[in-house]
Amino acid sequence: MPITPATAEHSSSNGTAETILLELVDEDGTTIGTAEKLAAHQPPGQLHRAFSVFLFDERGRLLLQQRALGKYHSPGVWSNTCCGHPYPGESPFAAAARRTFEELGVSPSLLAEAGTVRYNHPDPASGLVEQEFNHLFVGMVQSSPLPDPAEVEDTVFVTAAELAERHEKDPFSAWFMTVLDTARPAIRELTGPSADW
């Protein structure tokens, strides 16, 4: 399985590369340690902290992203606006805002907590496992995405009906429906009844 600098390392403030560590948690979401990112995703997977973001435009359409084809985990599939992992000690809210800007070149005009969900989703294509305690966020975006091509292959805004059609014919991330269904109450509160989420 290829490991690229983008998947295994990030640059520190002094310009040197360092290993990406994830925050390991117990079933209650309490931090219990750290693990290297790829190691945490090797079967059977280590439970770690993650986040998922759902951003909507003023018409109540959800911004989806298609993951870049070069990603080592779930390449080319469609998923929610942004998802990822906080660095150890970084708040999920700060990580969600940071990665949304890094991946899509947009900052949410509103971002609110939408609960947490714990899941175990193996990815048959890569053999990796998502054992995550996921913090969910919903919000608004008022500018057009400027995606980083190393992270994002494509983006699209969809209505609830368009998402249902797309989900039937296009590949989506293994975790997408789990995080979407858990976030739905907050999404409905944000977008209103006319958006039909």
Radius of gyration of the chain (CA): 16
Q: How confident is the model at residue 73, as a pLDDT? A: 83
* Burial of 88 from C-beta contacts in 10 A (0-12 / 13-18 / 19+): middle
Q: List phi, psi (to 5°) of 44.
A: -85, 5
Q: Which residue has the tokens 């296009």?
A: 170
Measure the CA angle with vertex 182, ends 40 and 148; round to 5°. Answer: 55
- Which tokens is 73 given? 């985990």
Does residue 83 carry a catalytic annotation?
yes
Integer Cα distance of 73 and 43 in angstroms: 13
Out of 83, 103, 130, 151, pick the active-site residue.
Answer: 83
Q: What is the mean pLDDT of the chain?
A: 90
pLDDT at 143 over 70: yes
pLDDT at 7 over 60: no
- Which tokens is 99 given? 């990665």
Among candidates 25, 43, 149, which has minimal Cα distance to 85? 25
Tell me how far the alpha carbon of residue 29 is from its chain's centroid: 17
- Which tokens is 20 given? 């990406």
Among candidates 26, 57, 121, which has minimal Cα distance to 83? 121
- pLDDT, tens digit (0-9, with 9 covering 90-100), for 76-114: 999 999 999 999 999 999 999 999 999 999 999 999 999
Out of 23, 103, 130, 132, pick the active-site residue.
Answer: 132
Does residue 82 carry a catalytic annotation?
no
Measure the CA angle with vertex 8, ends 91 and 10; round to 5°. Answer: 55
